[in-house]
Amino acid sequence: MKYEPQAGAVKLTMLLSGTVFLLMMIFGLVLRASQGNFIELDPAIFYQILTAHGAGMVGSAALSGGAIMWYFVGKYTKLNPVIYWLFLGLFLAGVVLILGSVFIGEYGGAWTFLFPLPAISGGAWGVEAAVIFCLGYVLIGVGFLLYYLEMGYRIGKKYNGFSGALGWRYIVNGDLEKAPPPTVIAAASVIIFNSTGIIFGAIVLVASIVNLLLPEFAVDALLAKNAIYFFGHVFVNATIYMAVTAVYEIIPEYTGKPWKTSRLFAIGWALVVVFVQLVYFHHVLQDLVMPAWMLALGQIMSYASGIPLIGITTFSLCVYIKGSGMKWDLTSKLLVLSVAGWTIGSIPAVIDGMIAVNKVMHNTLWVPGHFHTYLLLGEVAMAFGFSVWLVRGKAKKTANNLLERLTFNIYALGGFGFILVFLWSGASSIPRRWAVHLEEWHFHSQIGTVFAVGVVLATAVLVMIYTAGLVRRETKK
Amino acid sequence: MKILVVGFAFVLSLVAQIWVAEDPVIHVLVQFPLLVFVGYCLASGMRIQQIFMGPLLVLAVAAILFWMLPRTLDAILTEWGMFIAKFVLLPLTVGVPLALCWRHLNPVVRGFVKAQAISMLGILGFLYTHAPVRICNSYLLDDQVRLGYGFFLVVVGLSIVWTIPVFIGDRHEMEKNTPSRSVEIS
């Protein structure tokens, strides 16, 4: 019998994430259609939808990534299911607060809640809405903190501290027998950098709440920006680093070769722990009052952070696939696409991480081009790849299902088209986060909208495939 | 030996009293921890029933919250009752409960309290460095800012002290058995 750690909770989570992904994509489609002048949208509504789209996408990416990592870490050590349900409950409570603040309180200050925007809405939303939005984040943060504490305690105990779980001890002594598996190394790394990010996030969130309620407590704007982007950057990246455990665990079923821990792999992840925390400086390259060394570090880290990713995951994946006679079904295609999307998505980030480029590109659609590659073709593809595998496992033979082939092709084609339009628009200096676009920019957004329709349709089919698989499996039981 | 340590810490807290009226850093970050340490040492080694662990933790956290209130700090400096209560209740309502429950708490709860302590001290650091008015009537604005930076230093210190053991681990606790394979609750 296939081992399925806490599969019920994980399946429910993937269903929730998949549904929210679809809804948020529809929101994104509406935004692009509005920018392309296909539909008319009141700017206030545009910013509310933009806020919900950003927060919802990051949230569901984190939720699905968390579920995937919990499932696979559970193969190596016992995890307390109560903590998972607490995590899920706090997460959903946070989502309720965020949605309430956006659609009832009309909060539209973007998912980044960048100080002082939540407090100076110009009457577009009330202080209460902004406070409730921040409280929603706090609840999600507390849920994740509990999740990481439980997982960290278990793997720390099993691998004799984090130096063991991270594979650092193995790097030194080379004892492969006691080396942790790739999934555990990834989990230990994420626990370290995302717990740090969440603690910083908690500080700046409460500081923002105090400022909202008592405006006399003015937050230092530069300090707040640093804390927010440290938290935000680390949190978004963690979603992918959690979900990549699906690649480490599922791809070997297809290639027949286990994804082994090597010294290079452990060193790569050790670098990830450092780089992920230092790379956020590229979000403040336009803040000229920042110390020069920090900005230089931001550029260097932007260059460097892609190396471990390409070195330890992309290159290894290519090596494992080569000559393996791997069967290509929906799961394997989505997982390989996800690593490709993740890798390709790092290129626009590196370009934008150059100070000279950043000056003119950072506030253009180039940046959404980068992070949509990371998420749409990276994390989301990983999540759906995992979901399909979860409900039906590896296909017995190379899948020839027309619907699935069509779905995958439309998802990949639509996704690449969608992000290429963003990058093209960015290179043409079209600004991001603008509700109303000039007539000259409409054509870009219109093409983007067409590709977005393809992605939304393909995603709807993916959610249906997962739900159908879920129902079939439950009925069989 | 324990009595000596407790006595020495208590005497130090009394000596610190010389400066507490003019320096909130000494008051909050030196004298308070010393008094908590006194209570912690007094009760260390004692055992109580498991059922009291939760309430004791709640008592300790609630007492910390109370003694950290700016209004409480003012009252300590102006009212004799509060002045004496500080020396009695900080050891008894914070140090003693912590000593009785801390080691027996679930590790996840311990980690959660530590993470909360770090983030809340960071928030206090923010409040004390950014407040446009004097939060405590008894202390000057500059002293208040110094206390804020003191909180940030404590955050750094605690982060280091609490993180290092996580990396080192405990060889005796290492599970030697093969990976466990069942947590299914589907």
Query: Which tens digits make up the pLDDT trace of A50-90?
Result: 999 999 999 999 999 999 999 999 999 999 999 999 999 99
Q: Is residue B181 part of a domain?
A: no
Backbone Cα Rg of chain A: 22
How many contacts (CB atoms, under 8 Å) link A and B?
115
The residue of chain B nearest to residue A219, with distances taken between CA atoms, is B130
A159 contact residues in B (CB cutoff 8 A): 169, 174
Are the beta carbons of A76 and B179 separated by less than 8 Å?
yes
Q: What range defines the domain where residue A365 resides?
A: 7-476
A321 touches chain B (CB under 8 A): no
**Given a cut of 80, is residue A311 above it in pLDDT?**
no
A9 contact residues in B (CB cutoff 8 A): 185-186
Q: Is residue B120 part of a domain?
A: yes
Cα–Cα distances in Å, from B33 out to A185, A369, B16, B90?
37, 51, 11, 9
The residue of chain A nearest to residue B185, with distances taken between CA atoms, is A6
**Given a cut of 70, is residue A44 above it in pLDDT?**
yes
Render pLDDT for A173-182 as a digit per residue (tens, 0 to 9): 888 888 999 9
Residues in chain A: 477
- Give me the pLDDT at residue B173, please: 54
**Whole-prediction pTM value?**
0.89
Q: Closest to B167 (Cβ–Cβ): which among A9, A157, A162?
A: A162
Residue type, A306: G
Q: Is A364 helix (H, G, I), strand (E, B) or coil?
A: strand
Q: Is residue B176 part of a domain?
A: no
A163 contact residues in B (CB cutoff 8 A): 167-169
Helix (H) or strand (E) holding B127: helix B107-130
Residues 57-116 of B with CB under 8 A from A: 107-108, 111-112, 115
List Cβ neighbours of B10 (8 Å cut-off, separation of 6 or more): B34, B35, B38
B183 touches chain A (CB under 8 A): yes
Are the beta carbons of A160 and B132 separated by less than 8 Å?
no
Strand partners, A364: A431
List Cβ neighbours of A109 (8 Å cut-off, separation of 6 or more): A47, A51, A117, A118, A121, A125, A130, A133
Query: What HEC string does chain B produce?
Result: CHHHHHHHHHHHHHHHHHHHCCCHHHHHHHHHHHHHHHHHHHHCCCCCCHHHHHHHHHHHHHHHHHHHCHHHHHHHHHCHHHHHHHHHHHHHHHHHHHHHHHHHCCHHHHHHHHHHHHHHHHHHHHHHHHCCCCCCCCCCHHHHHHHHHHHHHHHHHHHHHHHHHHHHCCHHHCCCCCCCCCCCCC
Render pLDDT for A27-40 as a digit per residue (tens, 0 to 9): 999 999 999 999 99
B64 phi, psi to nearest 5 deg: -60, -45
Q: Please tell me what DSSP assigns to residue A215.
A: T
Work out the number of other CB atoms within 10 angstroms of the CB of residue A28. Answer: 25
A298 vs A433: CA distance, rounded Å: 23
Q: Give the confidence band of B50 by pLDDT, cuts at 50, 70, 90.
A: confident
B176 touches chain A (CB under 8 A): no
Are the beta carbons of B185 and A6 separated by less than 8 Å?
yes
Query: How many domains, in total, are found in chain B?
Result: 1
Rounded (10°) angle between helices A292-309 and A330-352: 160
Q: Is A181 helix (H, G, I), strand (E, B) or coil?
A: coil
A111 vs A212: CA distance, rounded Å: 16
Residues in chain B: 186
A21 vs B178: CA distance, rounded Å: 38
Closest C-alpha to A200, from A163, A238, A153, A164: A238
A180 touches chain B (CB under 8 A): no
Q: B3-10 — which CB contacts under 8 Å span 24+ positions?
A: B5/B41, B6/B38, B6/B41, B6/B42, B9/B34, B9/B37, B9/B38, B9/B41, B10/B34, B10/B35, B10/B38
- Give me the pLDDT at residue A396, please: 58
A7 vs B184: CA distance, rounded Å: 7
A473 touches chain B (CB under 8 A): no
List Cβ neighbours of B64 (8 Å cut-off, separation of 6 or more): B94
Q: Give the confidence band of A392 by pLDDT, cuts at 50, 70, 90.
A: confident
- Give me the pLDDT at residue B75, please: 94
B127 contact residues in A (CB cutoff 8 A): 210, 217
Contact A137, A94 (CB under 8 A): yes
- CA–CA min distance B112, chain A (Å): 7
Render pLDDT for B121-145 as a digit per residue (tens, 0 to 9): 998 998 899 888 888 889 999 999 9
Contact A87, A242 (CB under 8 A): no
Q: Which residue has the tokens 């209560």?
A: B85
Query: How many domains, in total, are found in chain A?
Result: 1
**Rounded to a whole number, what is the distance in angstroms from the first to the last CA of chain A?**
13
List Cβ neighbours of A49 (8 Å cut-off, separation of 6 or more): A27, A30, A31, A41
Are the beta carbons of A160 and B183 separated by less than 8 Å?
no
Render pLDDT for B53-106 as a digit per residue (tens, 0 to 9): 999 999 999 999 999 999 999 999 999 999 999 999 999 999 999 999 998 899
Are the beta carbons of B169 and A159 separated by less than 8 Å?
yes
ipTM: 0.78
Q: Please tell me what DSSP assigns to residue A394.
A: S
Are the beta carbons of B168 and A210 separated by less than 8 Å?
no
**Given a cut of 60, is residue A329 above it in pLDDT?**
yes
Q: Give the confidence band of B166 by pLDDT, cuts at 50, 70, 90.
A: confident
Are the beta carbons of A217 and B131 separated by less than 8 Å?
yes
Compute the average pLDDT of residues A355-368.
Answer: 92
- Give me the pLDDT at residue A452, please: 97
B180 contact residues in A (CB cutoff 8 A): 76-78
B122 contact residues in A (CB cutoff 8 A): 199-200, 202-203
A250 vs B127: CA distance, rounded Å: 48
Q: Give the confidence band of A8 by pLDDT, cuts at 50, 70, 90.
A: confident
Are the beta carbons of B175 and A157 separated by less than 8 Å?
yes
**Given a cut of 50, is residue B177 above it in pLDDT?**
no
**Given a cut of 50, is residue B186 above it in pLDDT?**
no
CATH number at residue A165: 1.20.210.10
Q: Is residue B184 part of a domain?
A: no
Q: What share of chain B is helix, strand, coil (3-state, %, to 5)?
A: 80, 0, 20
Q: Give the confidence band of A235 by pLDDT, cuts at 50, 70, 90.
A: very high
Q: Is residue B38 part of a domain?
A: yes
- Best residue in A153, A200, A213 to probe B by mutation, most B CBs within 10 Å? A153
Q: Is residue B180 part of a domain?
A: no
Render pLDDT for A288-299 as a digit per residue (tens, 0 to 9): 899 999 889 988
- Give me the pLDDT at residue B182, please: 38
Contact A269, A166 (CB under 8 A): yes
A381 vs A331: CA distance, rounded Å: 9
Are the beta carbons of A146 and B108 separated by less than 8 Å?
yes
- Give me the pLDDT at residue A312, please: 83
Q: Is residue A2 part of a domain?
A: no
Question: For all residues of chain A together, what is the average pLDDT?
Answer: 92
Tokens of A233: 């950057």
Q: Is residue A1 part of a domain?
A: no
B23 phi, psi to nearest 5 deg: -130, 105
A201 CB-contact burial (10 Å; exposed 0-12 / middle 13-18 / buried 19+): buried
- Give me the pLDDT at residue A426, please: 96
Q: Is residue B185 part of a domain?
A: no
- Give me the pLDDT at residue A1, please: 44
Q: Is residue B179 part of a domain?
A: no
Q: What range defines the domain where residue B58 resides?
A: 2-170
Backbone Cα Rg of chain B: 19
Q: Closest to B166 (Cβ–Cβ): which among A77, A156, A219?
A: A156
Are the beta carbons of B132 and A216 separated by less than 8 Å?
yes
**Given a cut of 80, is residue B179 above it in pLDDT?**
no
Q: Is A431 helix (H, G, I), strand (E, B) or coil?
A: strand
Compute the average pLDDT of residues A215-234.
Answer: 90
Q: Is A465 helix (H, G, I), strand (E, B) or coil?
A: helix
Closest C-alpha to A193, from A135, A157, A158, A144: A144
Render pLDDT for A146-160 as a digit per residue (tens, 0 to 9): 999 999 999 999 999
Tokens of A161: 């501290």
